[in-house]
Amino acid sequence: MNKVVVNLAEAIRDIEDGARIMVGGFAASGGANNLVQALIAKGTKDLTIICTGSPEWMPFVENDRAKKVISGFTSHSLRPEITEVIEAKVRAGKLEVETVPHGILSERIRARKAGIPAFYTPIGVGTVFGEGKETKLFDGDECVLERAIEADFALIRGHYGDRLGNLTCRFVARNRNTEMAGAAEVTIAEVEEIVEVGDIDPERVDIQGIYVQRVVRAPKIVKWLDGHEAV
């Protein structure tokens, strides 16, 4: 089975308006920047973006391609200009934002990957995060029901990949890429180099091919916002 596609356009060919998309990366490390830019160039809009923070959602928000952002960071404490962009869209009624505590975000993604529809957690009880959610007592402790996050596509990044979809990541680029792979109906991975099957040490396979449907070589690193490069 050969999961390698010829270019970025082919990799995102069936992502349509209104799709729910998980985007890997954390603080500009390990982001699927080339796939993101290709999707923006395609003109796909009304997207729901599920991600860690602003390096992942900002390209969609500033280009008016997102209708909703589900993220652990929905502002930027050190970059007020980024916060201003997303807040302006929300106030204008052009964007919906859901802030999710990072541990809960990871678990909601993992639950989807494991086929678990929902889970109870004490996190968020009595706060804005728990408002409107079903609650239940466990051994006297109140917990809220959190639902798994569904997505049509996951855009992730690896360092090396083979035709079977096995990936190895570089340094901290494993982050949410490993969580999101397999949590969407279709997982698309960009890698810097395609290698032969067996060239990746089994102990260095960070994402197994069973979770990946497409692999595309995209060696050029797209710079994000302030010129920083992903690693």
> Domains of the chain: which residue ranges?
17-99+151-217
Close Cβ partners of 99 (under 8 Å, ≥ 6 residues apart): 71, 72, 73, 74, 129
C-alpha angle 178-183-189 in degrees, rounded to nearest 5: 55
Q: Which of 95, 120, 125 is nearest to 108 (CA)?
A: 120
Q: Are 161 and 215 in contact (CB under 8 A)?
A: yes
Predicted local confidence at residue 74, as pLDDT? 92
Predicted local confidence at residue 28, as pLDDT? 77
Does the domain made of 17-99+151-217 have the CATH classification 3.40.1080.10?
yes
| Structure tokens, 57 | 């959602």
Q: Which helix (H) or strand (E) holds 146?
A: strand 141-147
Predicted local confidence at residue 228, as pLDDT? 46
Supply the Cα-derived Rg of the chain in whole angstroms: 18
Predicted local confidence at residue 77, as pLDDT? 81
Output the tens digit of pLDDT for each of the chain's 231 residues: 899 999 999 999 999 999 999 999 998 789 999 999 999 999 999 999 999 999 999 999 999 999 999 999 998 888 899 999 999 999 999 999 999 999 999 999 999 999 999 999 999 999 998 999 999 999 999 999 999 999 999 999 999 999 999 999 988 888 999 999 999 999 999 999 999 999 999 999 999 999 999 999 997 655 544 444 444
Predicted local confidence at residue 223, as pLDDT? 52
3-state secondary structure of 62: helix
Predicted local confidence at residue 222, as pLDDT? 53
Considering the entire predicted model, what is its pTM? 0.92
